[in-house]
Structure 1
Amino acid sequence: MANPWLEAALIALTSVVAAIVGLLVIWFAIGRRRAHQLDRGEAAALEETVYLFEDQTLVDATAPARQLLEATPMGQSDWARLSAFVAPRFTNFAERIAMLAQNGRIEMTETVDGLGEGRLRLIAEDVGGLARITLVDPQAEGRGVRVDGLSQRALEDELELMRVTLDRSPVLIWRSDPSGSISWANRAYLVKSGAFDANEDGFAWPLPCLFQCPKDMGTGPHRLQQAGMTGDAGWYECHSLPVKGGALHFAIPADATVRAEKALRDFVQTLTKTFADLPIGLAIFDRDRQLRLFNPALIDLLQLGPEFLSARPTLYAFLDRLRETRMMPEPKDYRSWRLRMTELEQAAASGFHAETWNLSGGQTYRVTGRPHPDGAVAFLFEDISAETSLTRRFRGEIEMGQEVLDQIDDAIAVFHPSGELAMANAGYCALWGVEPETTLGRVTLRDAVAQWRAQAEPSVVWDRLHALTQQIGTRAALDAEIVLRDGRSLRCRLSTLTGGAFLLRFSAPALPQGQKGVRDGKSLIPSG
């Protein structure tokens, strides 16, 4: 008789084993399905980059190939986009791909240095009149690359931002390989070079070189002119930076700067020619008081050698040399001279300053100091010896003429055409009681007539003289007798001089024949 408890235990154990086997079967089936899905995803990720073109029209392409075209926006057609990617990487791509129908198969290797075995390869095959182009990246063969979706989106957004920024930049930007050939350029460069036209289907490689860039131009700014341009047009301020596999260049338009520099050079040349012909010596000292500019007249006037001036001496060295060569007034002592030169510099730097140097050799120089921009100071040395000599001569002649007038007993006054008193002798000043120092250039004929009328008896002469103040040009001659309030009689005569000036003479009347008169030079009173 069987044990009922044993049978129940066997039944329970069989149920548990059956459940475990079922779970294992379900888990294995799910794992195989997931593994199959993973293999299909990796296979898609490892799909080759292959294009099929009929002439330059895209017939078919794998998914990675289409993604590559979408990431290459330059060019209006699929062939132009593909050329923009592969032409800079493979030497003579356009010429070699044109021979595909003749050769049947062409294989190219990327020309970028420093990649070794990891360089990109291109395989082109003629398949029934169609061009089958395969791009092979050795570094990605046999392994897939998984990318987080958000990370991939962030990278794509950043790439698009950089692409739009460079595409809209007005600055010409391009990359060159070690041989000088252009491997990449932005839209501004393409448009400027004429290689890109929005109305045409893309552009052709290689890109034209706008500038003859020397290989050892360095990284600093350098001025380059566009090929084929002359004059002030086509100039750019270029900056070059070394990068892996070549150099990166930036070109900023500099036509306005070049024109401004040319205008400045022309202006400086004009000033230089003008200064060279000036008889006035010019010396300009900068803010550090070193000589920066001088003209040939300075050498002739101050007898300084061109070697000394070309060495750009300081202001005090310049003045020391003038003192040694006696081309400035002899100072009493060196300390007072230094103090005087310091005052000269300060006065010239703060405003207009002028002084006269009487040299021991007989020359007379006028030294003028003026402030100059940026703290500089300019000195002008002018030889006024002839002017000074002429002035002294004229002054001597005037003084001699005044002495001659003073020796005449009659009271004489000369008036300008405008009616101002120009000259009077000592007899006139004594007669009418005026001071010579306060008279000339300050007394008009109207004032003088009022003064004469106050010291004389009424007469029509004063009315006639007063009427002369309203006349312009030549005055009519006048010869009349007047009587002073003290009883003296005087003869008043008016004579017209050259240029509209006129002379008035007050003299004692003529004495009868045989009568002698004594004049004391002041009263003009005849003696009986």
Structure 2
Amino acid sequence: MALHGIALILLAVLTGTASVVLATVLVRWWDKGPGRGRPRLPQGLESSLKPMVMLFRDQILVDATPPARALLDRFSAPEGDWTRLLHWIGPRFPDAIEALGRIDRLGRFESLGQGGSGSAVLRLEVEQIDAGLLRIAITDPQAEYAGIVVDSMSQQAMEEELDLLRRSLDQTPMLVWRQDAEERVTWANAAYLRKAEAQSDDSIGWPLPRLLESPRPVPGAGTRTRRASLTQNGAVSWYDCHSHQVGDQTMMFALPADAAVRAERSLREFVQTLTKTFADLPIGLAIFDRQRQLQLFNPALIDLTNLPTGFLTARPTLFDLLDQLRELRMVPEPKDFRSWRQQMSNLESAAATGHHVEEWSLPGGQTYRVTGRPHPDGAVAFLFEDITSEMSLTRKFRAEMALGNSILDNIGEAVVVFAPGGQVAMTNQVYRDLWSVQTDSLAAALACWQSHAEAGAGLDALCARLMGTEGGLRDSGLIAGPRGQLLGWSVARLAAGRQMVRFRLPDAAASAPDAGQPLLATASG
């Protein structure tokens, strides 16, 4: 019985072992079946691992893998697929363009592209299979045998961002391009390509022509700027060129600056016009900034003040200039230095806050008018004008006026002159003593005469004559004066529509001591 139980146990163990071995064999056989040697990739990822291969016969695309067709579709070159391929190859494989031209002799060549912003390095393989038939393959050496699979979502996001950046650079009005260490253009945006095509009669190729003399960046100095011009069809366009070093490449940005150039030219012409105008002015001009340093002066300032040109070009301060004028005796003689400094401080503050005018009587006999005016941003301008002849003429005119008034005061007749508007232009002392009232208009004078003189035909005739009413045809007559004396009057027309009225004592009234009453009766009658 014991032996029979042991036999049953051994039989069960052998049966279990055989089952495990058989299952293992079946699993291995299933894994080694057709199509089961490697895991299947999703259908969307299998296409990303296809090689980028193109076949060209006489520069006409014969066949291409889907990745290669997607690459060519990124460029819009009307010349064809071959030109699109060169646009992509040129910036990345600088030696490939020349090698493609000698492919008939070389038969086959490989080119390792320049490093990108990351670690990606591409390899270009060109092989001439038959006469005129080229096989072009583009591979990534680092991922060629690694079986790298890119996440489709990440790839789609990167492609969308790349498309947005490409469209933004192509639509910008400024010129953007990249240069290598030998100053060859390795990349350019659409605006640059359009300018390059307009400049050339033939179709352009790689490397692209340089359109502008851009500034050379200095390592560690950041961005540099330079203004450059571009002539096209006789028209000159201006650009502000900015350069920025990125590794061994240089990024260039050219912003249109035509409006700025026109504004600067207009400003420069305006300043030149002002400078010529200031140079011809007989008035000395000195403009000081907010720190009161001389910024602008004209030649008349030198002629009027005798200040040295070297002193003015050194941009002295306002108080230095005034001190120099004091030493040259070109300012009023001060009583003491303290009062002089206070006077000049008052001049500066008054000119800075508003319009200020002073007249300087110089020791040499000249008279200067000094005008101070505030300017924007705290600046102040001073004008020096020689008014010596004007002052002399004024003094002479005043002297002649005083002489004329003295003569009128001593002629023995009362004289008053009316302006065309009825204002009293002048009177003499005899007139003021006669009527005892100083009037300023014709109406006031008539009211004074009517209130102080006796009414009568003579007074009515005088009023009618001055007012130009009916009956005012007489130019002379008699009236009874303020103290009852008989006065003869006459009206004469002067230049510029003025009228002169004279009152005088008749000779008959003056020679008859007791004839006052008959004369008064005659005047009133």
For normalisation by structure 2, the TM-score amounts to: 0.86
Question: Do the aligned residues in 1 keep the contact of 2:58 with 2:133 (CA within 8 Å)?
Answer: yes
2:250 is the alignment partner of 1:243: no
Which residue of structure 2 aligns with residue 497 of structure 1? 494
Provide the secondary structure at the position in 2 that maps to 1:85.
Answer: helix
Deviation at 1:148, TM superposition (A): 3.1
Deviation at 1:29, TM superposition (A): 4.4
Provide the secondary structure at the position in 2 that maps to 1:361.
Answer: coil
Which residue of structure 2 aligns with residue 526 of structure 1? none
Deviation at 1:226, TM superposition (A): 1.3
Cα deviation digits, residues 45-94 of structure 1 (max 9, x gap): 77653210122332222355345435x43535432332111122334655
Could you tell me which amino acid in structure 2 is paired with residue 480 of structure 1?
Answer: G
Distance in 2 between residues matched to 1:513 and 1:503, nearest whole Å: 24
Which residue of structure 2 aligns with residue 524 of structure 1? none
Question: Do the aligned residues in 2 keep the contact of 1:75 with 1:203 (CA within 8 Å)?
Answer: no
Distance in 2 between residues matched to 1:196 and 1:69, nearest whole Å: 26
- Cα 1:381–1:29 change in 2 (3 A) is farther
Provide the secondary structure at the position in 2 that maps to 1:234.
Answer: strand
Q: What pairs with 1:226-237 in structure 2 (closer than 5 Å)?
A: 226-228=230-232, 233-237=236-240
2:379 is the alignment partner of 1:376: yes
Distance in 2 between residues matched to 1:230 and 1:287, nearest whole Å: 45
Cα deviation digits, residues 369-405 of structure 1 (max 9, x gap): 1111221111111111100100010001101111111
Which residue of structure 2 aligns with residue 51 of structure 1? 54
Distance in 2 between residues matched to 1:513 and 1:346, nearest whole Å: 66
Which residue of structure 1 aligns with residue 105 of structure 2? 103
Question: Do the aligned residues in 2 keep the contact of 1:174 with 1:184 (CA within 8 Å)?
Answer: yes
Distance in 2 between residues matched to 1:457 and 1:85, nearest whole Å: 119
Deviation at 1:243, TM superposition (A): 1.1
Which residue of structure 1 aligns with residue 394 of structure 2? 391
Cα deviation digits, residues 237-281 of structure 1 (max 9, x gap): 111101123200111111011001000100100010010000000
Which residue of structure 2 aligns with residue 186 of structure 1? 189
- Cα 1:486–1:43 change in 2 (3 A) is closer
Provide the secondary structure at the position in 1 that maps to 2:321.
Answer: helix
Which residue of structure 2 aligns with residue 523 of structure 1? none
Could you tell me which amino acid in structure 2 is paired with residue 370 of structure 1?
Answer: R
Which residue of structure 2 aligns with residue 453 of structure 1? 450
Which residue of structure 2 aligns with residue 422 of structure 1? 425
2:312 to 304, 309, 312: 309
Q: Which moved further from structure 2: 220-229 or 373-382?
A: 220-229
Provide the secondary structure at the position in 2 that maps to 1:221.
Answer: strand
Could you tell me which amino acid in structure 2 is paired with residue 457 of structure 1?
Answer: E
Which residue of structure 2 aligns with residue 82 of structure 1? 85
Distance in 2 between residues matched to 1:151 and 1:182, nearest whole Å: 31
Could you tell me which amino acid in structure 1 is paired with residue 387 of structure 2?
Answer: I
Question: Do the aligned residues in 2 keep the contact of 1:47 with 1:64 (CA within 8 Å)?
Answer: yes
Deviation at 1:513, TM superposition (A): 9.7
Which residue of structure 2 aligns with residue 36 of structure 1? 37
Deviation at 1:412, TM superposition (A): 1.2
Deviation at 1:2, TM superposition (A): 9.3
Deviation at 1:288, TM superposition (A): 1.4
Which residue of structure 1 aligns with residue 362 of structure 2? 359
Distance in 2 between residues matched to 1:365 and 1:108, nearest whole Å: 89
Distance in 2 between residues matched to 1:240 and 1:362, nearest whole Å: 64
Deviation at 1:191, TM superposition (A): 2.2
Question: Do the aligned residues in 1 keep the contact of 2:239 with 2:258 (CA within 8 Å)?
Answer: yes
Which residue of structure 1 aligns with residue 347 of structure 2? 344
Distance in 1 between residues matched to 2:445 and 2:324, nearest whole Å: 57
Which residue of structure 2 aligns with residue 260 of structure 1? 263
- Cα 1:374–1:513 change in 2 (3 A) is closer
Could you tell me which amino acid in structure 2 is paired with residue 488 of structure 1?
Answer: Q
2:488 is the alignment partner of 1:486: no
- Cα 1:449–1:158 change in 2 (3 A) is same
Deviation at 1:195, TM superposition (A): 6.6
Distance in 1 between residues matched to 2:198 and 2:20, nearest whole Å: 73
Which residue of structure 1 aligns with residue 17 of structure 2? 17
Distance in 2 between residues matched to 1:416 and 1:378, nearest whole Å: 41
Distance in 2 between residues matched to 1:117 and 1:239, nearest whole Å: 28
Distance in 1 between residues matched to 2:476 and 2:48, nearest whole Å: 131
Question: Do the aligned residues in 2 keep the contact of 1:45 with 1:144 (CA within 8 Å)?
Answer: no
Which residue of structure 1 aligns with residue 323 of structure 2? 320
Could you tell me which amino acid in structure 1 is paired with residue 413 of structure 2?
Answer: D
Question: Do the aligned residues in 1 keep the contact of 2:358 with 2:370 (CA within 8 Å)?
Answer: yes
Question: Do the aligned residues in 2 keep the contact of 1:73 with 1:81 (CA within 8 Å)?
Answer: yes
Q: What pairs with 1:103-122 in structure 2 (closer than 5 Å)?
A: 103=105, 105-107=107-109, 109-110=111-112, 112=114, 120-122=123-125
Question: Do the aligned residues in 2 keep the contact of 1:222 with 1:237 (CA within 8 Å)?
Answer: yes
Distance in 2 between residues matched to 1:181 and 1:264, nearest whole Å: 38
Q: How many residues align?
A: 502
Distance in 2 between residues matched to 1:510 and 1:75, nearest whole Å: 120
Distance in 2 between residues matched to 1:29 and 1:347, nearest whole Å: 110
Which residue of structure 2 aligns with residue 73 of structure 1? 75
Q: Which moved further from structure 2: 6-15 or 279-288?
A: 6-15
Question: Do the aligned residues in 2 keep the contact of 1:212 with 1:227 (CA within 8 Å)?
Answer: no
Note the residue ranges of structure 2 that are not aligned, 5 or more in a row: 515-525
Which residue of structure 1 aligns with residue 285 of structure 2? 282
Cα deviation digits, residues 184-241 of structure 1 (max 9, x gap): 11112222332799xxxx963332322122545872222111145767x410111110
Question: Do the aligned residues in 2 keep the contact of 1:234 with 1:255 (CA within 8 Å)?
Answer: yes
- Cα 1:39–1:357 change in 2 (3 A) is same
Cα deviation digits, residues 445-495 of structure 1 (max 9, x gap): 2221111111111123433433345559xx976221111353211111122
Deviation at 1:300, TM superposition (A): 0.5
Which residue of structure 1 aligns with residue 229 of structure 2? 225
Deviation at 1:6, TM superposition (A): 2.8
Query: Percent of pairs identical after alignment?
Result: 45
Question: Do the aligned residues in 1 keep the contact of 2:289 with 2:380 (CA within 8 Å)?
Answer: yes
- Cα 1:26–1:351 change in 2 (3 A) is farther
Cα deviation digits, residues 101-138 of structure 1 (max 9, x gap): x4261425357489999674442414253121233544
Could you tell me which amino acid in structure 2 is paired with residue 20 of structure 1?
Answer: V
Cα deviation digits, residues 158-178 of structure 1 (max 9, x gap): 222322222222222111112
- Cα 1:125–1:513 change in 2 (3 A) is closer
Question: Do the aligned residues in 1 keep the contact of 2:475 with 2:490 (CA within 8 Å)?
Answer: yes
- Cα 1:310–1:29 change in 2 (3 A) is farther
Question: Do the aligned residues in 1 keep the contact of 2:287 with 2:382 (CA within 8 Å)?
Answer: yes
Question: Do the aligned residues in 2 keep the contact of 1:446 with 1:466 (CA within 8 Å)?
Answer: no
Which residue of structure 1 aligns with residue 517 of structure 2? none
Question: Do the aligned residues in 2 keep the contact of 1:46 with 1:143 (CA within 8 Å)?
Answer: no
Question: Do the aligned residues in 1 keep the contact of 2:126 with 2:134 (CA within 8 Å)?
Answer: no
- Cα 1:155–1:119 change in 2 (3 A) is closer
Question: Do the aligned residues in 1 keep the contact of 2:435 with 2:482 (CA within 8 Å)?
Answer: no
1:508 to 498, 505, 508: 505
